[in-house]
Amino acid sequence: MFPDITRDDVFMLETPRLWLRWPRAADAPSIVRHAGDEAVARMTARIPHPYPPEEADRFIFRSREANAGGAGLVLAVTLKGRPGEAVGVVSAEWGPDGEVLLGTWLGTAFQGRGLATEAVEALLRAVFTVSSATAAIAAVRSSNAASRRVLEKLGFRPDPRGKAVFPACAGEPFESLRLDRRDWTLADVRADRESREPGARA
């Protein structure tokens, strides 16, 4: 379970370009607009296409319920300066054996700019800081090279065993990737040390 700090809807994560916050009722129109793009939907296991407007309301309700109960951490991705528009979503849901199942999507107009890496990295940092998660695992369609690169950049590696925990992907070619807490911690410490060294790049 996620701790009390994430169960309040004032919880937010900040990155250089983004705010990640709880989804709100007012996000429904922007979620419909961005998640309703076929190019976004076909790369996920859960977003239907066509995307009915009422589905956004259901998604927001389920997300807030999961956040409040500690069963998940589902955050709307918003740009700084435009906090009222949800341009994507990142999520971590409890899976088996103390692992969290990672999910993410971003509107097509916001892809290819490093925003997905920024958002997922912030979520992972929060998960491994405030929870007891042993690892994060993710499912990626085999044709989704961009999402796979994002995960690999953050330290995820192929894990065929993880396929058993993604029933929504059954029948679709996909890959399972995994990042263990120990590997994340070592990479995080290394990155922090390098950033403090003289001459380190900003």
φ, ψ at 154 (rounded to 5°): -95, 5
For residue 78, give Cα distances in angstroms to 82, 117, 132, 167, 168: 6, 14, 27, 29, 27
For residue 107, give Cα distances in angstroms to 79, 116, 122, 165: 12, 10, 18, 26
In the chain, pLDDT over 70 holds for what percent of residues? Answer: 89
Architecture of the domain delimited by 4-195:
3-Layer(aba) Sandwich (3.40)
pTM: 0.90
**pLDDT reported for residue 193:** 45
**pLDDT reported for residue 162:** 74
Distance CA 143, CA 183 (A): 26
CA 61 distance to own-chain centroid? 18
**pLDDT reported for residue 202:** 32
At a CB cut-off of 8 Å and minimum separation 6, what does 50 contact?
A: 36
Express each pLDDT in 33-77 by its tens digit: 999 999 999 888 889 999 999 999 999 999 999 999 999 999 999
Residue 202 C-beta-side C-alpha neighbours within 13 Å: 1
Q: Is residue 200's pLDDT more than 50? A: no
Can you list the alpha helix ranges (DSSP code H) found in 70-177?
Answer: 115-130, 145-153
Express each pLDDT in 89-132 by its tens digit: 999 999 888 999 999 999 999 999 999 999 999 999 999 999 99
Identify each DSSP E strand in the chain by its residue range. 12-14, 18-21, 72-79, 88-94, 99-106, 135-141, 157-158, 174-180
Express each pLDDT in 151-161 by its tens digit: 999 999 999 78
Express each pLDDT in 140-177 by its tens digit: 988 899 999 999 999 999 997 877 777 666 667 889 99
Cis, bond preceding 50 (omega within 30 deg of 0): yes
